[in-house]
Structure 1
Amino acid sequence: MARPSVLFVCVKNGGKSQMAAGLMRAAAGVTVDIHSAGTKPGSAVNALSAESLLEVGVDITGETPKLVDPQLVREVDLVVTLGREAHVDAVPGTRFENWDTDEPSERGIDGLERMRLVRDDIAARVTDLAARLQNESATEQQEIR
């Protein structure tokens, strides 16, 4: 039985999608195949994103931004875009979700405080998604039996 797979996408693949992937690894471990990518990847992971995750025991400092691979989009079960700017063309057979994540900078909140709020918003969504994917996988396994 194949594990469920998810691709998290933002524009630069330096902040939100990397955060989501790191938080999903912490929440779901090896029960989900986890990928992240960007539509226009930057050159490095956002330092404040990484710092905010280190506070909760998740290390993304070794990650590097990657371009969305169309083949991967076709292969994963779910593509999650984070924010309003990243767009990935729909592919038959792949589910898509958009998480219109909190953007504290619109309220004048910046720096590490901003990243903590973004992290907490993404963490809540990831926890929900991990539970949904694990429930779907368990249901599929029961149907096979």
Structure 2
Amino acid sequence: MRTPPRVLFVCVKNGGKSQMAAGLMGDIAGDSVDVVSGGTKPGTSLNQLSVESLAEWNIDISEGTPKPVTPADLEAADVVVTLGREAIVHAPEGAEVENWDTDEPSERGIEGIERMRLVRNDISARVADLLERLRSGC
């Protein structure tokens, strides 16, 4: 794996979860990980509750914009993480691919910023675990 490793976070719209994951990884990993995010069917704007939930932790993703996952993004990634089962990508041979079925509090009737805080916390724990695995070479 190159130094630094490149992680590509993917969700459908690239407006919420994948942007959050990229922001969280960038915050804890700094320049030790090259972080990219994209969507399989990108939306037109960021989810403002995602932006707000990270701002509570002093992480600013407000200038991000949804963008498509490109073949070049997939080719350059050492690790491809899809957030949710709806985001389908075809990573090249040799790329590590994992899917994160993140917490979905709306299934329990939790909405708004409370929902997004729970999603943020789940993604944050997964990002920390991934960073630890990258650092240990696993």
TM-score (norm 2): 0.96
2:66 maps to which residue? 65
Q: Can you list the C-alpha shifts for 1:104-137, whole angstroms capped at 9, x where unaligned?
A: 111111100000000000000001111111221x
Report the Cα offset of residue 75 of structure 1. Answer: 1.2
1:109 maps to which residue? 110
Cα distance in 2 for partners of 1:11, 1:104 equals 18
More helix by share: 1
Does the Cα contact within 8 Å between 1:11 and 1:41 map onto a contact in 2?
Answer: yes
Alignment of 1:26-65 (within 5 A): 26-65=27-66
Does the Cα contact within 8 Å between 2:10 and 2:37 map onto a contact in 1?
Answer: yes
4+ long deviations beyond 4 Å: none
1:18 maps to which residue? 19
Larger Rg, first or second structure (1 or 2): 1
Residue aligned with 1:8, SS: strand
Cα distance in 2 for partners of 1:134, 1:25 equals 14
Does the Cα contact within 8 Å between 2:82 and 2:98 map onto a contact in 1?
Answer: yes
User: Unpaired runs of 5+ in structure 2?
Assistant: none
Q: Can you list the C-alpha shifts for 1:34-79, whole angstroms capped at 9, x where unaligned?
A: 0000000001110000000000111100000010011110111010
Cα distance in 2 for partners of 1:89, 1:19 equals 22
2:78 maps to which residue? 77
**Amino acid corresponding to residue 72 of structure 2 in structure 1:** Q
- The percent of aligned pairs where both chains have the same amino acid is 63
Does the Cα contact within 8 Å between 1:31 and 1:134 map onto a contact in 2?
Answer: no
Number of equivalences = 137
Residue aligned with 2:82, SS: strand
RMSD after superposition: 1.1
2:6 maps to which residue? 5
2:129 maps to which residue? 128
Cα distance in 2 for partners of 1:90, 1:36 equals 14
**Amino acid corresponding to residue 33 of structure 1 in structure 2:** D
**Amino acid corresponding to residue 75 of structure 2 in structure 1:** R
Report the Cα offset of residue 21 of structure 1. Answer: 0.1
Does the Cα contact within 8 Å between 2:80 and 2:91 map onto a contact in 1?
Answer: no
TM-score (norm 1): 0.91
Does the Cα contact within 8 Å between 1:74 and 1:93 map onto a contact in 2?
Answer: no
User: Unpaired runs of 5+ in structure 1?
Assistant: 140-145
Cα distance in 2 for partners of 1:57, 1:134 equals 24
Cα distance in 2 for partners of 1:72, 1:41 equals 15
